[in-house]
Amino acid sequence: MPDSSLDNEELFRIAVIDMKEGRHEEAIGRLKRLIELDPENANAHCLLGAEHAELGLFDRAATELEHAIALNPSLAVAHFQLGLIHFIRNDSQKANDCWIQLNGLPESAALDAFSKSLLLATSGELKGALAEIQRGLTSNPSEALARDMNKIKAQIEDQLQQQTGEPGAKATGDAKHALLNNYSDLSQTPGSRRKMN
């Protein structure tokens, strides 16, 4: 079925499936088409940013995620993904500036805990990082997020046992891979826009 015959919701849902199954070209094409039809669709911008991040196009990813946040400041996953881009670029301050926005956002508890655990692990506070991950895992995270949190948890536990003397280095080694999961299941509302007062 050609994309021209699909409505906005169909384009969004099929793009999510493409993302989950690793069909990046198709996902990007459908998300761009959806944004042409619905420029204020915050979730489409967010997922396009995640796709660009997965391909290593971090400047494009940041632009799309910033656009998503401008359209819908309550979109927690966009704040998290943008912070993670800064984090993997070794800019913990900018990452924290993004992640602090998660405080109080609906359904952001797991993302908030995960972001705090990454910052704590980087600074060598492994026990605190482990406690944050534990908090996040009890906050009903998505399957993709729980998988990444458990990866980091295992690394921290291993490092605590081995006491390598390099705080945080191993514990955050897979942080980049967290970005590559897209967390597309956290962004399921096709028509998310800025609310007008």
Q: What is the pLDDT of residue 189?
A: 45
Q: What is the pLDDT of residue 4?
A: 75
* One-letter amino acid of 102: L
Q: What is the pLDDT of residue 61?
A: 95
Helices assigned H by DSSP within the chain: 8-20, 24-37, 42-54, 58-71, 76-88, 92-99, 109-122, 126-137, 143-162, 175-179
Q: What is the mean pLDDT of each run of 10 residues along the chain (197 residues)?
A: 79 94 95 96 96 93 97 94 91 94 86 92 91 92 85 87 57 48 48 40
| Residues 6 or more apart whose Cβ sits within 8 Å of residue 42 | 67, 68, 69, 71, 72, 75, 78, 192, 193, 194
| Residues 6 or more apart whose Cβ sits within 8 Å of residue 125 | 167
Smallest CA-to-CA distance from 79 within 106, 54, 93, 97 is with: 97
